[in-house]
A and B are shown apart, each in its own frame.
Chain A
Amino acid sequence: MPSTEVKYEYLEHTADAKFRAYGKTKEDAFANAAEAMFNVMINTSKVDCKHREDIIVNAPEIDELLVEWLSELLFLFEVDFLAFGEFKVENITEKDGEFELSGHACGEEIDLERHEIDTEVKAVTYNDLRVEETENGYMVQVTVDT
């Protein structure tokens, strides 16, 4: 188990990309998962924060909420051609069996050269999906289809 200093790590997967993200809180782990996913596609350290996108998503389960959050970011990447480099999840709440996430991502229009386009992520899968409480906080695990 890596220390909470490690934001995320990639696991071996033959066809797709699989990663674990960590955080002291669920919110931090979800935000780090978004960074892990974007680093499959681009070099997030080259992205300037010029545009902020506020995001609210809902799901009936906490792990599905994670898929919703990542899928929404992926949608914005493709449709609005936005590269994101900074991610913040402000709040994850549960009410009457429905989970809600509010957060934001910060970035700019994709620059094919500067952002070093890497592997295209097609979608976020439910395969071996995990949101777990650990000794140091939270661990989430995601497999994305590439």
Chain B
Amino acid sequence: MESGNKITDLLTKIDDNIWEIPEDYSPGMNVPGRIYLSDKLIRDLEPETLDQVANVAKLPGIQKFSMAMPDAHLGYGFPIGGVAAFDEEEGVISPGGVGFDINCGVRLLRSNLTVDEVRPKMKELTERMFEAVPSGVGSKSRLRVTDSELDDIFLHGSKWAVENGYGEKTDLEHCEGGGCIEGGDVGNISIKARKRGRPQAGTLGSGNHFLEVQYVDKIYDQEAADAFGLEEGQVSFMIHCGSRGTGHQICTDNIKTMSQASKKYGIQLPDKQLACAPAQSEEAQNYFGSMICAANYAWNNRQMITHWTRDVIADTFRSDIDELGLELVYDVAHNVAKLEEHEVDGKKKNVYVHRKGATRAFPKGHKEVPLKYRDVGQPVLIPGSMGTASYVLHGGDRSMDISFGSACHGAGRVMSRSHAKKEFQGEDIKMQLEKRGITVRSAHPAVIAEEAPGVYKSSSEVVNVVHELDIARKVAKMMPMGVIKG
């Protein structure tokens, strides 16, 4: 786009919080772009993010719109917050539309503990969690899985953890897709991806990943909160991580293959990172089978971390998991491609929905929402930045209609990591947070500066957009008490 233009001059406002990038924005777009942002948030959007939304609109077989959620910001290839659905036959599958951290996601663990019970023990609790859950660059798991165990994890996800004593059967019922996507294929997973995967099952990683102790500050929707087991003043635990090195390697391996495949199938790429292949081609299906394995690895990863977290909580409060009510509320993936049924032009059809930094938000009545939540809609978990509020929402009635059943996945960055490190000192941020009663424990101090609250959009502003659009409705707001960073 030309410099000097106001970003809103390039867009058509369709309705409150809905902006369209017209098809003539850039040559080759097959569908318009749609960006869900408030009048306030749109002013902070980088123009290059529009270009990325437009680039995705150029891929073959894209349905309805190339979309970006309200936490949208510049990514590589797809924008972060990007959602795109491709026809099962005429469309494509693109590893870049999922990203390197396949099935990066969030889960929420509730408890019967109150904020007053937990507050005096926060230092001890965070220290023990930090000890129990390996985190940081190069961190290795407490157990090293064998190759055949790794295959089981790739094929069965969280089920492997639960069957091996890392959790309860109900954990699987309270997880997107039961903590596993069927149809994984280990046949195309490289030796490198296996080497990276074996020592890292049950590790948090680094960057924006975290384990957070929170309390429920406010309930917006009593009926949904009752269904999710949430009430004001209650302490909960949020886990944010993904598929670690194995996911990164599977993506790396497949983008290389797809780059050649794009040429072979004559697909014009506006950006090499959008490398893709026709959905039913061998290359695309090989990737999809491997991606499922990485997604399953991530669910298993979060399940093992959940188990160790429960152990620490039970031990710290000298009680047991049942007594403490340490139940999984839900677990959502926010970097994944899934074959889903959606209505397009009045007809039901199967599409490959790519969510790159976007969460599923299926409404009440949808068959993939766990029975326990089917009358209210799936829990949608939206973490805030370090030191700011996180939100629990439920899938809204309009999500299937306007966003292929998707919502935002977080607050969305507005400042680069390098800029953040110039602006903030890790130690200062830590002290400021501690003054506000938030304990911080980190493997590497630089991470605290990079992830300082000031580098993100306001999570409440972002959440209000999906709430107003009825993509997902607010249920509860949680405030942080302590955070463990990689």
Q: Say yes or no: is A12 at the interface (Cβ < 8 Å to chain B).
A: yes
Q: Say yes or no: is B411 at the interface (Cβ < 8 Å to chain A).
A: no
Instruction: Select from chain B the residue with minimum beta-carbon distance to A119.
Output: B417
Q: Say yes or no: is B43 at the interface (Cβ < 8 Å to chain A).
A: no
Q: Say yes or no: is B419 at the interface (Cβ < 8 Å to chain A).
A: yes
Give chain B residues whose Cβ lies under 8 Å from the Cβ of A119.
Answer: 206-207, 417, 446-447, 450
Give chain B residues whose Cβ lies under 8 Å from the Cβ of A73.
Answer: none
A34 CA / B324 CA spacing, docked (Å): 50
B77 CB contact (under 8 Å) in A17, A61, A79, A125: A125
Shortest CB-to-CB span from A45 to chain B, Å, is 16
Shortest CB-to-CB span from B100 to chain A, Å, is 4
Name the segment of A22-30, A46-54, A126-134 touching the other chain. A126-134
Q: Would A17 and B418 count as touching, CB distance under 8 A?
A: yes
Q: Would A120 and B249 count as touching, CB distance under 8 A?
A: no
Q: Would B417 and A17 count as touching, CB distance under 8 A?
A: yes
Shortest CB-to-CB span from B289 to chain A, Å, is 20
A118 CB contact (under 8 Å) in B195, B416, B446: B446
Q: Would A123 and B252 count as touching, CB distance under 8 A?
A: yes
Q: Would A122 and B192 count as touching, CB distance under 8 A?
A: no
Q: Would B418 and A126 count as touching, CB distance under 8 A?
A: no
Interface of chain A, main secondary structure:
loop
A118-B446, A123-B252 known; A79-B195 Cβ under 8 A: yes
Q: Would B446 and A75 count as touching, CB distance under 8 A?
A: no
Q: Say yes or no: is A145 at the interface (Cβ < 8 Å to chain B).
A: yes
Q: Say yes or no: is A41 at the interface (Cβ < 8 Å to chain B).
A: yes
- Give the residues from 101 to 141 in chain A that come closer than 8 angstroms, CB to CB, to chain B: 110, 112, 116-120, 122-129
Instruction: Select from chain A the residue with minimum beta-carbon distance to B357.
Output: A15
Shortest CB-to-CB span from B43 to chain A, Å, is 15
Q: Would A128 and B271 count as touching, CB distance under 8 A?
A: yes
Interface size class of B (residues with CB under 8 A): 35 or more
A128 CA / B96 CA spacing, docked (Å): 13
Query: When each residue 396-417 of chain B gets 1 if its CB lies under 8 Å from chain A and 0 otherwise, what string results?
Result: 0000000000000000011111
A14 CA / B77 CA spacing, docked (Å): 13
Q: Say yes or no: is B432 at the interface (Cβ < 8 Å to chain A).
A: no
Give chain A residues whose Cβ lies under 8 Å from the Cβ of B260.
Answer: 60
A75 CA / B136 CA spacing, docked (Å): 16
Give chain B residues whose Cβ lies under 8 Å from the Cβ of A64.
Answer: 256, 259
A61 CA / B447 CA spacing, docked (Å): 35
A10 CB contact (under 8 Å) in B136, B137, B418: B418
Query: When each residue 72-102 of chain B gets 1 if its CB lies under 8 Å from chain A and 0 otherwise, what string results?
Result: 0111110010000000000000001001110
A126 CB contact (under 8 Å) in B137, B259, B486: B259
Shortest CB-to-CB span from A79 to chain B, Å, is 5
A15 CA / B80 CA spacing, docked (Å): 9
Interface residues of A (CB under 8 A from B): 10, 12-17, 41, 59-61, 63-64, 67-68, 71, 75, 77-79, 81, 110, 112, 116-120, 122-129, 143, 145-146
* 26 examples of A-B residue contacts, CB within 8 angstroms: A12-B416, A12-B419, A14-B46, A15-B76, A15-B80, A63-B272, A81-B138, A110-B138, A112-B443, A112-B444, A118-B446, A119-B206, A119-B450, A120-B206, A122-B101, A122-B207, A122-B248, A125-B76, A126-B76, A126-B273, A127-B96, A127-B271, A129-B272, A145-B76, A145-B101, A145-B248
New A-B pairs, 5, CB < 8 Å, besides A17-B418, A119-B446: A14-B415, A17-B417, A116-B446, A117-B136, A120-B137
